[in-house]
Amino acid sequence: MEWINGGVTAPAGFKAGGIHCGIRPNKTKYDLALIVSEKECSAAGLFTKNVVKAAPVYVSMNSLAVPKAKAIIANSGIANACAPHDMENALEMQRLTAEALQIDQQDVLIGSTGVIGVDLNVKSIEKGLPELIEKLTSDASGSDAAAKAIMTTDTVKKEKAVCFALGDATVRIGGISKGSGMIHPNMGTMLCYITSDVCIDASVLKEALKEVCDQTFNRISVDGDTSTNDSLLILANGMAGNEMITEKNADYETFKDALLQLCTALAREMAKDGEGAKHLITCRVHDCETEEKAEILAKSVIGSSLTKAAIFGCDANWGRVLCALGYSGESFDPLKTDISFSSAKGDIAVCKNGKGLAFDEEKAAEILKEDEVIIDISLHEGNEEVTCWGCDLTYDYVKINGDYRT
- Is the entire prediction scored with pTM above 0.85? yes
Residue 396, pLDDT > 80, answer no
Q: Which residues are catalytic?
A: 189
Give the number of other CB atoms < 10 A from CB of residue 29. Answer: 15
Each residue of 125-183: pLDDT tens digit?
Answer: 999 999 999 999 999 999 999 999 999 888 889 999 999 999 999 999 999 999 864 44
Q: What's the whole-number average pLDDT of the chain?
A: 93
Asked if residues 308 and 393 have their Cβ atoms less than 8 Å apart, the reply is yes
The DSSP element (H or E) to which 339 belongs, if any, is strand 338-343
In Å, how far from its chain's centre is CA 159? 11
**What would the mean pLDDT of 265-286 be, rounded to a whole number?**
88
Q: What are phi and psi of 256, to 5 degrees?
A: -65, -40
Each residue of 111-126: pLDDT tens digit?
Answer: 999 989 999 999 999 9
Domains, the chain: 2-272 (3.60.70.12), 280-402 (3.10.20.340)
Integer-rounded Cα Rg, in Å, for the chain is 22
Percent of the chain with pLDDT over 90: 85
Q: What is the pLDDT of residue 190?
A: 85
Each residue of 187-238: pLDDT tens digit?
Answer: 446 899 999 999 999 999 999 999 999 999 999 886 656 678 899 999 999 9
Residue 22 φ/ψ region, left for φ over 0, alpha for ψ in the -120 to 50 degree band, beta for the rest: left
Instruction: Give whole-number Cα distances, 282 to 193, 212, 267, 343, 391, in Å.
Output: 24, 18, 11, 10, 8
Q: What is the pLDDT of residue 183?
A: 46
CA dihedral 118, 119, 124, 126 (to 10 degrees): 150
Helices 86-101/55-63 angle, 10° precision: 50
Each residue of 32-79: pLDDT tens digit?
Answer: 999 999 999 999 999 988 889 999 999 999 999 999 999 999 999 999
Least confidently predicted of 119-123, 263-267, 396-400, 402-406: 402-406
Asked if residues 80 and 120 have their Cβ atoms less than 8 Å apart, the reply is yes
Q: What is the pLDDT of residue 180?
A: 63
Helices 291-302/305-312 angle, 10° precision: 60
